[in-house]
Amino acid sequence: MKILLQMPGRDAESWRAALAAALPEAEIAIWPVAPADPDYALVWRPPAELFTRVRAVKAIFNLGAGVDALLAVPTLPRDLPIIRLTDAGMAEQMAEYVTLATLRAYREMDAYAAQQRDARWLPRTRLAKAGFGVGLMGFGVLGQAIARALAPFGFPLASWSRTRKSIDGVTSFAGTVDLRPFLKMAHVLVCTLPSTPETNGILGRHTLSQLPQGAHVVNIARGDLVVDADLIECLDSGHLAGATLDVFRAEPLPVDHAFWHHPRVTVTPHVSAVTLISESVAQVAAGIRRIENGQTVTGVVDRRRGY
């Protein structure tokens, strides 16, 4: 079995060592060294040159949950299955991140931080939890893990996705017709949607203005889902109380971007979940073994939908 591993800016040798331990029978090459026809290509944001030099025979594994960058590569073979990571330790990390952001919004910690800077001792009236809904925009593996993490806190939880999904304790909304009522309940709106032509710019003035007065936005999905100028306008007008942003249209976020110094924006450098080598390799190795045994594998990307 031949495997091509392409990992720009990452510890490729650590990945190779983990893969060799999980798949001792495999011959593993690290790009730009490459066999002409590997059985599998394991890639993350690959250059177009890769697919002109090599031709994977059985499948391409995308070493992350988001496949938008891979699908945009013009030389990507059209007839090979693409398999993405469906969790690999990311769900727990994202659940931690969103729980922190949600509790920070609910307990109004930004307001107390501002009062501290002014040396003001002013207890605030506690918000009614029953009226503080959390809306999960996107409800796949990651969205469902976030829902499970938030459930013990007692917030009203709702999900919005392409198709209706049923999980205890979560009100399900689906499709365009349900978007408005979903947004109206979301005092914290958490976005985990994939980046597709349909979702690009979905968090713009039209949707943000339908959130409750004083709502918070948490984006851990992709930066192109947010219309930056519209979000800033909604924050400046006071309609939104805050935004916690981990992903951006340009990364690293340009030093002159308004998000850096906006008093109602929290910026983190795409760290809501980092890809963990051991968990990722275990998932990839399991997928390869299933393919080798003629079995089905999870995480196969539907190219038409973009995820």
| Residue at 246: amino acid letter | D
Q: Which of 10, 162, 257, 270 is catalytic?
A: 270
User: Is residue 239 exposed (0-12), middle (13-18) or buried (19+ Cβ within 10 Å)?
Assistant: middle
In degrees and rounded to multiples of 5, residue 201 shows phi and psi of 75, 15
- Considering 16, 104, 216, 222, which one is annotated as catalytic? 222
Q: Let me know if 205 is a catalytic residue.
A: no
Long-range contacts of 178-183 (CB under 8 A, 24+ apart): 179/207, 180/210, 182/135, 182/137, 182/158, 183/135, 183/207, 183/210, 183/211
Clarify whether 270 is annotated catalytic: yes
The residues annotated with a catalytic role in the active site are 222, 270
